[in-house]
Amino acid sequence: MKALVYQGPGQKDWIEKDKPGIEKPTDVIVKVTKTTICGTDLHILKGDVPAVTPGRTLGHEGVGIVEAVGDAVANFKPGDPVLISCVTSCGKCANCKRQLYAHCDDGGWILGHLIDGTQAEYVRIPHGDNSLYPIPEGADEEALVMLSDIMPTGLEIGVQYGRVKPGDTVAIVGAGPVGMSVLLTAQFYSPGKLIMIDMDPARLELAKQFGATDTLQVGSVDVVEEIMKMTGGLGVDVAIEAVGVPATFDTCQKIVSAGGSIANVGVHGKPVELHIEELWIKNINISMGLVSTNTTPMLLKTLGSGKVDPAKLVTHRLKLDEIMDAYEIFGNAAREKAMKIILTA
């Protein structure tokens, strides 16, 4: 079969590789029908995630058809259409029992990281019973691909950790796929204002179409000053960081109101300066974490009811064997006006 393989920093290839087989009785082999590229894959390619070693197939998002199941798999059989979660979980260990699947004893984020991922014709999913979801009849598969990672990430680590409530003023720093997923899922809670912040005017324009009440372009306005004007000097109830650099975390520290929350979603490679000397007196909450995808069943229901349409994040559609071109487009997202690329086998 063909797979997109990491060959060391800056290098990747679409090459012939052995088709995965059942290794443990809890494994499921999935024939990938649709997958996509995540910002995290670009981090890996830069060499930012040294746990990924050369030869690793990338990708942790997608949908497919069950090809084979191990003897212990009870929920799936060959031919079943499935949604692949970016987080693998046994469903039985102490952390799984409290739905903290990100920290499963025998799972967590391993796909396209510690084991071969979904940017291939076939993928082996450990603990298939708990790590796959049946695809409801008539569901939009492109929308479902957004449920592998970015939608649960936005909802769990942005909106839920940030404690977004009805009427809140929410600022989202970063209008990439993850920031946009925060924007879409925050609307479940009817916030009063949704302020999107980015330097890319095209992404801010898209954010308006997706429900942002206000947008602020970094570089053309003083973001902190504008937020203070908009909020009568109070700041925002919830500041959500969806980029992963010190500057954007710092913006969140400056714009959070007394009693508010900072929810960090971005993956950081460098330390940030925590201004505890200013924040201690403000009764704020700071949160961060890795997505557990425990909200996936809930997101599947909201999708079914038409309450949210993550398929609108898809800007490009290519064939799976055009994945090298897709990386080129996704790696130049601002120039190409790209958000999410669907790769169909």
Ligand X SMILES: NC(=O)c1ccc[n+]([C@@H]2O[C@H](COP(=O)([O-])OP(=O)(O)OC[C@H]3O[C@@H](n4cnc5c(N)ncnc54)[C@H](O)[C@@H]3O)[C@@H](O)[C@H]2O)c1
Please report, as ranges, the residues that interact with ligand X according to CB under 6 A. 38-40, 43, 149, 153, 157, 173-179, 197-200, 203, 218, 242-245, 247-248, 265-267, 290-291, 333
112 binds, among ligand X, Zn ion, none (CB under 5 to 8 A by kind): none
247 binds, among ligand X, Zn ion, none (CB under 5 to 8 A by kind): ligand X
Q: Which of 61, 59, 32, 66 shows the shortest CA–CA distance to 134?
A: 66
How far is 168 from 251, CA to CA, in rounded Å? 18
Contact partners, residue 40, CB within 8 Å, separation at least 6: 49, 60, 267
Residue 240 vs 284, nearer CB to ligand X: 240
- What's the closest the beta carbon of residue 259 comes to ligand X, in angstroms? 24
Q: Which of 265, 44, 57, 82 shows the shortest CA–CA distance to 172?
A: 265
93 binds, among ligand X, Zn ion, none (CB under 5 to 8 A by kind): Zn ion
85 binds, among ligand X, Zn ion, none (CB under 5 to 8 A by kind): none
Residue 69 vs 170, nearer CB to ligand X: 170
Segment (H or E) for 314: strand 314-319
- What's the closest the beta carbon of residue 89 comes to Zn ion, in angstroms? 5
Interaction site with Zn ion (CB under 5 A)? 38, 40, 89-90, 93, 96, 104, 149
- What's the closest the beta carbon of residue 100 comes to Zn ion, in angstroms? 9
Alpha-carbon distances of 100 from 244, 289, 290, rounded to whole Å: 22, 10, 9
- What's the closest the beta carbon of residue 295 comes to Zn ion, in angstroms? 15
- What's the closest the beta carbon of residue 102 comes to ligand X, in angstroms? 7
Alpha-carbon distances of 155 from 164, 200, 312, 323, 327, rounded to whole Å: 10, 23, 17, 28, 26
Q: Which residue minimizes CB distance to ligand X?
A: 176
104: three-class secondary structure by DSSP: coil
90 binds, among Zn ion, ligand X, none (CB under 5 to 8 A by kind): Zn ion
Residue 31 vs 113, nearer CB to ligand X: 113
How far is 312 from 189, CA to CA, in rounded Å? 20
State phi, psi for 318 to the nearest 5 degrees: -135, 170
- What's the closest the beta carbon of residue 98 comes to Zn ion, in angstroms? 10
Residue 128 vs 177, nearer CB to ligand X: 177
Strand pairing of 12-16 and 2-6? antiparallel
